[in-house]
């Protein structure tokens, strides 16, 4: 294989950290959610790369990645529903303005 495994891992790590930045630094709840999706994609790159390079004869990594996508879909559906609910009641999806609870 021409491309070393470490290249994939480093791209995945970079994608994970970019997603993490988005999740931590965005004001908009949907923006945060998109950051989280990037993080999950980074994990999937890891899983598929490990599958290809470490254990190609067993399909564990690919199967795990498929499950991650399934879970991500369910999670996003609930998350966006929450965003829409909060938008209806407060007219904002800016996390800094969502601040009734504190103490």
Least distance (Å) between residue 27 CB and other proteins: 4
Residue ranges in 15-54 that form contacts with other proteins under rule CB under 8 A:
15-54
Tokens of 99: 């601040």
The set of residues, in sequence order, having a beta carbon less than 8 Å from that of 95 and lying 6+ positions away, is: 26, 27, 28, 29, 32
Least distance (Å) between residue 80 CB and other proteins: 4
Least distance (Å) between residue 58 CB and other proteins: 8
Residue ranges in 59-98 that form contacts with other proteins under rule CB under 8 A:
59-87, 89-96, 98
* Number of C-beta neighbours around residue 42 at 10 A: 21
């Amino acid at each position: 294989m021409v491309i070393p495994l470490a290249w994939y891992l480093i791209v995945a790590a970079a994608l994970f950290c970019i997603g993490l930045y988005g999740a931590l630094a965005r004001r908009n709840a949907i923006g945060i959610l998109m950051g989280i999706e990037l993080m999950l994609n980074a994990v999937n790159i890891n899983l598929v790369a490990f599958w290809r390079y470490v254990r190609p004869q067993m399909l564990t990594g690919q199967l795990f990645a498929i499950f991650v996508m399934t879970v991500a879909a369910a999670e996003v559906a609930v998350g966006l529903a929450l965003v829409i609910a909060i938008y209806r009641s407060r007219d904002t999806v800016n996390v800094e303005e969502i601040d009734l609870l504190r103490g």
